[in-house]
Amino acid sequence: MAIQRPRGTQDILPSTVGYWQALEKKMRQLAATYGFQEIRTPIFEDTRLFLRGIGETTDVVQKEMYTFPTGDDKDKTFTLRPENTASAVRAYLENKIYGQETLTKWFYIGSMFRHDKPQAGRYREFHQFGAEVLGSQSAVTDAEMITMIVQFFQSLGLADLNVEVNSVGCPHCRPAYREKLITFFEPKKEELCEDCQNRLYKNPLRILDCKNETCKKLSIGAPEIHENLCEDCHDHFETVKKYLTIAKVPFVINPRLVRGLDYYTKTAFEVQYTPLGAQSAIAGGGRYDGLVEQLGGPHTPAIGFAMGMERVLLALEKQDLLPKPEEEKKAYIVALGEAARQKAFAMVTALRSMNCQVAMDVENKSMKSQLKHANKIHAKYVIIVGDDELQRGEAVLRFMDTSEQETIALADVIDKISSLVKG
């Protein structure tokens, strides 16, 4: 059997790559509007970065990483990045960005890898657009980031958004809350799902967002995070809500929203596109005030989000809102006979050097099949040159939309076509 692509990956063919490009373009525009600059980090990193950066108890680290030998160092392994925040922070530290600027705003677009169960809208290689703000502890930054995501979806025409926000506390208030949760769940331990039994002492907050029905029932009446926040976390959360209201961002407070990664502090948020059902989460993120320090850097409050591009495209497709790829005007030169073909080749080369999209036939095909090809590539203008035209120093210019034709001087073809194509 022929070799096939790995399960959970996809080929993005020319027929759909235009949607990706259009989406990426919009993402870049949005990022620029909000003052973010692009970074590109390696696809793979030292595995320890994710162990330390994402947290050893997370599903991502425990079950979903693609880890492989470095080829050089037997004591080390590399891992395909399962997300980009840890890499961004690593780059921030390694390049000593903290010494160069007090506020860093970065965005990224790229592939991430998780060995997860593939299903609709969930891939093992998937694409994320995300952003990180490093160096701001202001709650206004949190509100600004959530607003940015909501504005983005609105600009794509996606209504039916559900914006959930929560505060997951900080190292001052979370330990006591964790203890309360452990005390609450301990007597029910045997009834919890296997994952939650494992989480109970490591990360009991995650029991609160377990999708298992029994766990959901068992967590009714669990202590609420909002009643256990310290003053700083409480005030921070109030400010986030106030500024979201100023920005007219509709949101709901979900005290169960803890998200899967260990590093979040204070604000956590998720944006769902409800018509997508089970895979409705299309963006999410949160504050990670301790992560930079945890990875060996100076204390740097920070916040970030990531958006799943496959899911955004799925949502757009569902609503028939896929962005139309921009198509540039194209020209085609139909050449009949060897002499005409040589002339056409010279003209095509000259036009391409002027950034005009122009094609020609090199297989010595008939006039009819050359015109068919011109149609297929949506050429707007066709130049026809045969031996007779060549002798008279002329060419026929055909407008494909109207089928109108005119005779022009061969010497004018380049000027004419370049002005039509670019005009």
Any contact of residue 215 with Zn ion (CB under 5 A)? yes
Distance (Å, rounded) from C-alpha 8 to C-alpha 119?
8
- Taking the least distance from each CB to Zn ion, the nearer of 293 and 388 is 293
- Taking the least distance from each CB to Zn ion, the nearer of 80 and 181 is 181
Which member of 31, 89, 131, 196 binds Zn ion (CB under 5 A)? 196
Q: How far is the CB of 144 from Zn ion (least distance, A)?
A: 21
Q: How far is the CB of 260 from Zn ion (least distance, A)?
A: 13
Q: How far is the CB of 164 from Zn ion (least distance, A)?
A: 19
For residue 53, the surrounding DSSP H or E stretch is helix 47-54
Q: Number of residues in contact with Zn ion, rule: CB under 5 A? A: 11
Q: How far is the CB of 306 from Zn ion (least distance, A)?
A: 24
Q: How far is the CB of 165 from Zn ion (least distance, A)?
A: 16
- Taking the least distance from each CB to Zn ion, the nearer of 85 and 203 is 203
Which member of 172, 189, 318, 372 binds Zn ion (CB under 5 A)? 172
Return the range that interacts with Zn ion (CB under 5 A); candidates 9-17, 206-214, 294-302, 383-391. 206-214
Q: In terms of Cα–Cα distance, which of 60, 105, 56, 77 is closest to 294?
A: 56
- Taking the least distance from each CB to Zn ion, the nearer of 140 and 230 is 230
Q: How far is the CB of 230 from Zn ion (least distance, A)?
A: 3
Which member of 22, 182, 193, 359 binds Zn ion (CB under 5 A)? 193
Any contact of residue 205 with Zn ion (CB under 5 A)? no
For residue 233, the surrounding DSSP H or E stretch is helix 231-246
Can you give the length of the chain in residues? 423
Distance (Å, rounded) from C-alpha 9 to C-alpha 113?
10
Distance (Å, rounded) from C-alpha 423 to C-alpha 310?
35
- Taking the least distance from each CB to Zn ion, the nearer of 92 and 185 is 185
- Taking the least distance from each CB to Zn ion, the nearer of 191 and 415 is 191
Which member of 212, 254, 319, 357 binds Zn ion (CB under 5 A)? 212
Q: How far is the CB of 85 from Zn ion (least distance, A)?
A: 21
* DSSP string across 148-214: HHHHHHHHHT---EEEEEEE---TTTHHHHHHHHHHHHGGGGGGS-HHHHHHHHH-GGGGGG---HH
- How big, in percent rounded to 5, are the helix, strand and coil portions of the chain? 45, 20, 35
- Taking the least distance from each CB to Zn ion, the nearer of 125 and 195 is 195
Return the range that interacts with Zn ion (CB under 5 A); candidates 82-90, 223-231, 241-249, 300-308. 223-231
Residue with tokens 């899911």: 311
Token pair for residue 150? 């909501």
Task: Give the contacts of 67 (CB within 8 A, at least 6 positions apart).
Answer: 47, 77, 78, 79
Token pair for residue 124? 């093992």
Buried b (16+ CB within 10 A) or exposed e, 370-391: bbebbeeeebbbbbbbbeebbe
Token pair for residue 5? 């692509």
Q: In terms of Cα–Cα distance, which of 281, 18, 326 is closest to 128?
A: 281
Return the range that interacts with Zn ion (CB under 5 A); candidates 117-125, 146-154, 161-169, 409-417. 161-169
Q: How far is the CB of 226 from Zn ion (least distance, A)?
A: 11
Any contact of residue 173 with Zn ion (CB under 5 A)? yes
Rounded (5°) CA angle 215-61-210: 10
Question: Any alpha helices (H) in 361-407, and if so which ranges?
Answer: 367-376, 387-392
Would you call 318 helix, strand, or coil by DSSP?
A: helix
Return the range that interacts with Zn ion (CB under 5 A); candidates 63-71, 112-120, 227-235, 411-419. 227-235
Any contact of residue 169 with Zn ion (CB under 5 A)? yes
Return the range that interacts with Zn ion (CB under 5 A); candidates 42-50, 202-210, 320-328, 356-364. 202-210
- Taking the least distance from each CB to Zn ion, the nearer of 170 and 421 is 170
Any contact of residue 189 with Zn ion (CB under 5 A)? no
Task: Give the contacts of 142 (CB within 8 A, at least 6 positions apart).
Answer: 236, 240, 243, 266, 267, 269, 287, 303
Which member of 230, 247, 339, 396 binds Zn ion (CB under 5 A)? 230
Q: How far is the CB of 220 from Zn ion (least distance, A)?
A: 13
- Taking the least distance from each CB to Zn ion, the nearer of 215 and 283 is 215
Binding site for Zn ion (CB under 5 A): 169-170, 172-173, 193, 196, 210, 212, 215, 230, 233
